[in-house]
Amino acid sequence: MGKTPENVAKVGDLIPQDRRLTIQDLCNTLGLSYGTCQRILSEELNMRRIAVKFVPRLLQNEQKQHRLEVCRELQEQLQEDPNFLSKVVTGRDEENIRMEILELDDHPYFVATQYHPEYLSRPLKPSPPFFGLILASVGKLHSYLARGCRLTPRQLSDVESGNHKKVDI
């Protein structure tokens, strides 16, 4: 069956009737595979799920205008300084297409990510963006980076001979 125009039309007809349908509901109703329904929704109908509803992935006019303004500002900065982007974008996706991490050199600690570092953090193993923020907040980021992003054994341990001791980063 697959991603045929008829199946696209069927999915397109069902979604407006009940935007809370799950992909599995669509599969059961239409007899399509999960992957086919997912591809039709995302690739053909350009929809995504937000707060349990499928909604069009279209920008509002205000959002489009804001993006244009930001792009114009970035173009001006790029024309003034051809190395502007090398100072800002520090991480890209695996295909080297999308910007994933952004840092500002002239700020004590400004890091923005497209991914969610909070999902990668654990109480005793914070993700690098969070760990960097903590180090920057206590004035230890530069010394940590100078040591090749390594902690000494003393800094890893907060216990010395059974006595609790403050961690020195």
pLDDT value for 62: 79
**pLDDT value at 130 more than 80:** yes
Report helix, strand or coil for 106: coil
DSSP 35-65: HHHHHIIIIIS-EEEETTEEEE----HHHHH
**Is residue 108 pLDDT above 60, yes or no?**
yes
Return the pLDDT at 159.
Answer: 47
What is the average per-residue pLDDT within 88-102? 74
pLDDT of residue 85: 66
Please give the share of the chain, as a percent, with pLDDT higher than 70: 78
Taking all residues of the chain, what is their mean pLDDT, rounded to a whole number? Answer: 77
Of 44, 35, 43, give the one whose Cα is nearest residue 8.
44
Residue with tokens 């205000």: 62
Look at residue 167 and give its three-state secondary structure.
Answer: coil
pLDDT over 70 at 139, yes or no: yes
Mean pLDDT of 53-78: 72
Show me where the domains of the chain are located.
5-56, 62-113, 117-164
**Which of 12-21, 53-62, 67-76, 89-98 is most confident?**
12-21
Q: Edge to edge, what strands does the sheet with 89-92 contain?
A: 89-92, 99-103, 111-113
Structure tokens at 45: 């109908």
| Greater model confidence, 67 or 168 | 67
Six token digits for residue 113: 């990510």
Write the pLDDT tens digit of every residue in 16-38.
888 778 888 888 999 999 899 88
Is the model more confident about 97 or about 123?
123
Q: Looking at the predicted structure, is the pLDDT value of residue 160 above 60?
A: no
pLDDT at 84 over 60: yes
